[in-house]
Amino acid sequence: MKTTPSANAGQIRLQQRSPLYWRVTFHLPPVSIFGPKNLSPFNEIISKIETDEQLKVVVFDSAIEGFFLTHWDFLAKPEDDPGMPPGSTGLQPLPDMLARLSRAPVVSNLTDEVIESISQKLNQKG
């Protein structure tokens, strides 16, 4: 298994478990808030997913138990913004990356633990 740390090592980890199967782990303590400093590392991973000809499955998970990605970091400092222009889809960086992932020729999935955590949070609100 090959682990490729992102530009912000420890924040978003890519584990190439086999040529066909990769795992992307978000480690954004304390409650998995995604922000501007995570855009470049996530973009690098999305680009690798798009261009790898052998890859078939990518599983996304969180190293923070009970939290996947809670929301965007609205309190981030302006200097944390990497100044990325709109992406190839014409969308701003994060929506661009998500659109590109949805079009990549791979199956992407969340772990059972993440799905269960999201389901529990939705049921608590009801």
Instruction: Indicate which CATH number applies to the domain containing 60.
Output: 3.90.226.10
The dihedral region occupied by 32, where left means phi > 0, alpha psi between -120 and 50, and beta the remainder, is: left
Query: For the chain, which ranges sit under pLDDT 50?
Result: 6-9
φ and ψ of 111, to 5 deg: -70, 160
pLDDT at residue 67 in the model? 85
Q: Which structural domain, as residue segments, surrounds residue 63?
A: 2-125
pLDDT at residue 6 in the model? 47
Q: How many domains does the chain have?
A: 1
pLDDT at residue 65 in the model? 85
> Whole-angstrom Cα distance, residue 71 to residue 74?
9
pLDDT at residue 8 in the model? 44
Would you say the C-alpha torsion 50, 51, 57, 58 has a positive or negative sign? Answer: negative
